[in-house]
Amino acid sequence: QVQLVESGGGLVQAGDSLKLSCAASGPTFSSYIMGWFRQAPGKEREFVALMHWSGSNSYYADSVKGRFTISRDNAKNTVYLQMNSLKPEDTAIYYCAVDRYYSGIYYSPAQYKYWGQGTQVTVSS
């Protein structure tokens, strides 16, 4: 059974930084893909960033490229999302997600089976 627990959200001002954490428990994640998504009020859940648990490649949405960084700590089974230069439009509930990786790039929420409960990020102007 896979369990994901996000933390690190909060209320910040535009230009500030936050670091989200996603602690994962369950199977060995070496063949998994890890993603961060977000959902703003009245909008669909959208892709933010992803990386393979056992690889070094990472992918980002254009809206966060250069400001957000996804990383992981294998020893802690934890994935991070460092968010810098935050903007009011980054306000959303942020979710981490995982699933077994087979091929391709997993940009769609539908490609992930396991989800955390979400953490609220609010950026004031």
pLDDT tens, per residue, the chain with 125 residues:
899 999 999 999 999 999 999 999 988 788 899 999 999 999 999 999 999 988 788 999 999 999 999 999 988 999 999 999 999 999 999 999 999 988 888 999 999 999 999 999 999 99
**Residue closest to 115 by CA, chosen among 89, 95, 87:** 95
- Buried residues in 62-78 as b, exposed as e (16+ CB within 10 A): eebeeebbbebeeeebb
Distances (CA, A) of 121 to 27, 38, 58: 29, 9, 22
Distances (CA, A) of 68 to 25, 28, 80, 104: 24, 26, 10, 22
